[in-house]
Amino acid sequence: MTSGSLRFEGRDIPVREGDTVASALFRAGVRTFSRSLKSRRRRGLYCGTGECPNCMVTVDDVPGVRSCVTPAGSGMRVERGRGWPSTEHDLLHVTDLMHPLMPVGFYMKTFVRPRFAWPVAERVIRRATGSGPLPERREPTRTTSRHLHADTIVVGAGTSGLSAALEAAGAGEHVVMCDAYPVGSQVPPGRLLEAIRALETRARAEPAIEMLERHAALGLYDGPTVALASADELVQVHPRRVVLATGAIEMHEAFPGNDLPGVWLGRAASLMAAKHGSPVGKRVVAVASTEEGLEHLRALAGSGTNVIAAVVPAALVDEVPASAEAIADGELVSAHGPGRIRSVMVRERGQARRLRCDALVLSIGLEPRDELARMAPDEPVEIVGDAALGGAVPRVTGGTLCLCEDVSAHDAEQAWAEGFRSAEILKRYTTATMGPCRGAMCGRALAAFASARSGQADRAAAARTTARPPSRPVALETLAASVHEVIEKRTSLHQTHLAAGAELGWSGGWKRPFSYGNWREEYTAVRERAGLMDVGTLGKFLIAGRDATILADRIFPGRVADLAPGRSRYVLALDEAGYVADDGVLSAFEDGSHLLTSTSGGAEGMDARLREWTHRLGLHVHLLDRTSELGAILVAGPRARDLLHPLSDDPLDGDSLPYAGHGEVTVAGVTCTAIRTGFVGELGFELHHPRSRGPELWSALMRAGRAFDARPFGLDALELLRLEKGHLYMGQDALPDDTPVKLGLDRAVDMTKEWFVGKAALERLATTPLGRRLTGLTFDEGPEDAAVLRGMPVSAGGEIVGRVTSAAASPALGRSIGFAWIRTVDGELPADGLRAGEARATIAPTPFYDPGGERLRG
Amino acid sequence: MTLRIPCPNCGPRPHTEFSFGGQERPHTADDAEADFARVFLPDNDPGSARERWFHALGCRTWFELARDATTNRIG
């Protein structure tokens, strides 16, 4: 029978086929599985079905594992988490004796003053509580996330769930069926398990049923959507109909001594005796008020467990096995220790009677697992089987109300006396129901307590606290499943860059070269000779159709209607609040269509904006997003034209293809739309080409560039090149509520146009004070590498008046330059006395480099 | 919250595929004050309202939808 062993706190414990970690430990004599959260009371196996926190141990360095539902594996390392020096002998158990001194919320009341005491106290309290330390080093599990669509989802694979699934599948529906555990694993051997196995065989043979075992339903949401989690995936199921067959668990009552090791719920005792072959005690007292309880009683007796007495309703006395004394209509009063259960007090016909025992088995009612149904009351949910039961009302006479959070009935009484007088606020004050069982065990007891105190005993159910996801504990790494799913956008030149030794980094969803080793050399190449840059990441949109020009005219605040075919123009895009959302270059064609190139990071937003206004204005426009279909290479520098000449027969001179013009040219056999742009401030050709031709075009350009020592350049060089030229980076230099005038871009706005998006807002804002403005700065006496000034506050006379958004040492100017936004006073910028850190800052006109633009007109 | 948004092209899809475009509103207003209200002061009333949605991770279509902000009922 033995199939290996697990390592438990320094000794080897044999594992049998079908064992759970808990059953292996129990067979080996372990009775105390954990210590309670606050009072450090001993806790033994109790529910046996993965609900209560008592059996939680650390398995292979993972704390908080429920040993009663975790299959035992050979070689597992198991430790008990709580207790010092050990769980068996826990000196902190003194806290239980000090309980009268530590009422609910005692630490919040006790350590709040003096203030400095709290961080110290919290650290001590943190060490004294919790379920054991988290592993310091552990590889994260790569969880995945997926969506499932189905006609019906059935939650819970018991008899009701399996029947419902078979019925739905029989009616031609596609059914997803889930259960937190393997089918039947929670059920002791007997008639019920046989019925489940018969249904399971049919369900597994039914192709329309998709069975997801070990998938716990965490929550029910609008839609409806049901979220499921397993150890390695998060599943969102979108059914038309939800069938909840979540069943019921055995009721948890709060009576004195109810948390002693040796107090068992019926299913746990039955599973341990009949399935794992370990009797739960030598002298067992059972309390059975349900049919299921009698079933457990028979299972215990049948497996040779010595049941000395059974407390049952009078009507069921005849069903008690002969070996046990039947106590008709008795009432369980209390259980007594110390350390584990040693006797119980039972009231029989008014007489209290003490029974010596070493185990107490309780089957006193059923609590439907109805959290999911209570989460989304408006959804098409059908509740079947035991989950639809009304449920009994548990007694609260003493002992532990909430096992997870270690809240006693006395604590609840005290909180009530302090004025916390409903289940909802009792929950918040005492944290009862907020532990790993998510209120499944104790939610009803808390509600029953509150209802009894408020004189509304009949409304126990109505006082339940709100059910919220997750209804079962779930690892954060499972919820973070989709975080791992990063989409990395690459241009057609990705491999080419890697081969050239480029340092790639993230930029607006793309992986782009930041440099090819030495960005200063790349900068110099562009300023003095020629450079190549992969700008295939730019957003590229073809705007065509009857109303193409109208759309462009409405969406951009600048003049568009007079843009002649073959010409390009810088455009801003505003939102309806008049704030600058993005910028780009618009090029007009003979046929009335336009090509818009927008910033790499803003491409998706630009596409959404174009489509939104086409829709809202009811225009007839065809919009084609060519971003991923077209590549683009920028050839820039004083020798750019010389570089292109040998590769093209088309005229590239300033008359045929002037600055801010565009045309179709064939370069190295590749047909390109060449746009004369000037972002870097030099003669430049942006060659837009079919993506698939990118690598060969790049190679041809690189070969032709050897004669001029041309270099590929990355974003690091571009940062300085564009800064010298006074061009903004929208995401870096602009703030979310910057208007064109604040950025000094009012030249790209024509307020005489009849209407454009954001015009009314700009008119309104023109009547209010400016607030701040983006301006160019030069720095003196500052650090050698002015780049460190970026992000620094700008001060004037000791008062902070702005912030540096870009800064760099400019080789072309021989000084440090930058951008900053600065507060205005009466519309004017402060004239002097500006500082950024150690540096003296002076407001300077932009562009810093080539203000007349002779170089880029070339 | 998980909504299923009926896209006119693609049928009902999870809301994670869509961008919310705000409450439907005119694109012009009579004066500056009304324009401010139009842009910054949506009604945000409980109950059903006309909204604009964009099928961003799908067919990239904008469309209008009546959704009840209290119950999430669509239509």
Averaged pLDDT, A828-852: 88
Judge whether residue A89 has pLDDT over 90.
no
> Which residues of chain B does A751 touch, with a Cβ-Cβ cutoff of 8 Å?
none
Task: Provide the pLDDT for residue A580.
Answer: 95
- The reply to whether domains A2-128 and A494-721 share a CATH topology is no
Cis peptide before A565 (omega within 30 of 0): no
The closest CB to that of B2, out of A221, A612, A625, belongs to: A221
- Alpha carbon of A822: minimum distance to chain B alpha carbons (Å): 26
Q: Does domain A393-471 have CATH number 1.10.287?
A: no
The answer to whether residue A845 scores a pLDDT higher than 70 is: yes
- For range A86-100, the mean pLDDT: 72
Residue B62 to residue A615, Cβ atoms within 8 A: yes
Q: What is the pLDDT of residue A730?
A: 86
Q: What mean pLDDT is predicted for residues A534-555?
A: 96
Largest CA distance in chain B: 39
Does residue B75 belong to any structural domain of this protein? Answer: no
Query: In this model, does residue A627 exceed pLDDT 90?
Result: yes
Q: What is the mean predicted confidence (pLDDT) over A167-183?
A: 96
Please give, rounded to a whole number of angstroms, the shortest distance from the CA of B5 to a CA of chain A. 9
Q: Which of A631, A632, A630, A664 is nearest to A648 (CA)?
A: A664
Q: Residue written as tokens 């997801």?
A: A212
Q: pLDDT by residue (tens digit) across A704-747?
A: 999 999 999 999 999 999 999 999 998 899 999 999 999 999 99
ipTM for this prediction: 0.96
Distance CA A248, CA A367 (A): 5
To the question of pTM greater than 0.80 for the whole model, the response is no
Q: Which residues of A touch B32 (CB under 8 A)?
A: 760, 763-764, 767
Q: What is the CATH number of domain A2-128?
A: 3.10.20.440
- CATH number of the domain at A254-363, please? 3.50.50.60
CATH: 3.30.930.10, 3.30.420.40, 1.10.645.10, 3.30.1360.120. Which one for A494-721?
A: 3.30.1360.120
- What pLDDT sits at residue A463? 75
Identify all chain A residues contacting B60, using CB atoms and an 8 Å cutoff.
607-608, 611, 625
How many Å apart are CA A764 and CA A752, to the nearest integer? 15
Question: Interface of chain B against chain A, CB under 8 Å?
Answer: 1-4, 14, 19, 21, 27-29, 32, 35-36, 38-40, 52, 54, 56, 60-63, 71-72
Nearest to A238 among B4, B19, B61 (CB): B4
Closest approach of chain A CAs to the CA of B36, in angstroms? 7
Q: Which of A265-274, A556-565, B19-28 shows the lowest mean pLDDT across its residues?
A: B19-28
Range among A459-463, A474-478, A503-507 with highest mean pLDDT value: A503-507
Q: pLDDT tens for residues A97-118? A: 666 666 677 666 666 667 777 7
- Residue A841 phi/psi, 5° resolution? -110, 140
Q: CB A576 to CB B56 under 8 A?
A: no
Nearest by CB to residue B1, choosing from A222, A608, A767, is A222
Name which residue leads in pLDDT, A284 or A421.
A284
Contact status, residue A854 vs residue A678, Cβ threshold 8 Å? no
In this complex, the residue of B19, B35, B38 whose CB is nearest that of residue A608 is B19
- What's the whole-number average pLDDT of chain A? 91
Helices marked H in A347-506: 371-375, 409-417, 423-430, 443-453, 476-479, 494-499
pLDDT per position as a tens digit, A578-606: 999 999 999 999 999 999 999 988 899 99
Question: Which range of residues forms the domain containing residue B60?
Answer: 4-68
Which CATH number do you get for residue B53?
A: 3.30.2270.10
Chain A CB contacts of B71 below 8 Å: 378
Report the C-alpha gap between A248 and A364 in whole angstroms.
12
Class at the top of the CATH hierarchy for domain A144-249: alpha beta
- Residue A107 makes CB contacts below 8 A (sequence gap 6+) with A121, A122, A125
Min mean pLDDT across A175-179, A184-188, A355-359 is at: A184-188
Of A547, A572, A546, the closest CA to residue A559 belongs to A572
Going through A165-208 in order, the beta strands assigned E by DSSP cover: 175-178
pLDDT at B69 over 60: yes
pLDDT digits (tens, 9 = 90+) for A799-815: 899 999 999 999 999 99
CB-based contact B54 A236, cutoff 8 Å: no
Q: How far is B39 from chain A (nearest CA, A)?
A: 6
Question: Nearest CA to CA, how far is A220 from chain B (Å)?
Answer: 9
**Domain for residue B73, yes or no?**
no
Sort out which chain A residues have CB atoms less than 8 A from B5's CB and list them. none
Nearest chain B residue to A623 by CA: give it.
B60
Give the pLDDT of residue B1. Answer: 53
Select from A223, A755, A760 the Cβ nearest to the Cβ of B4. A223
The predicted model gives A619-643 an average pLDDT of 96
Q: What is the pLDDT averaged over residues A782-789?
A: 87
Mean pLDDT along residues A152-180? 97
Average pLDDT value for residue range A531-540: 96
pLDDT bin (cut points 50, 70, 90) of residue A460 is: low
Other Cβ atoms within 10 Å of A830 Cβ, number? 18
**pLDDT at residue A223 above 80?**
no
Q: How is the beta sheet containing A77-79 ordered, strand by strand? A: A11-16, A2-8, A77-79, A56-59, A62-66
% of chain A at pLDDT higher than 90: 71
Domain formed by A769-855, architecture: Beta Barrel (2.40)
**Where are chain A's structural domains?**
2-128, 144-249, 254-363, 393-471, 494-721, 769-855
Work out how many domains chain B is built from and give that number: 1
Residue of A nearest to B40 (CA): A577
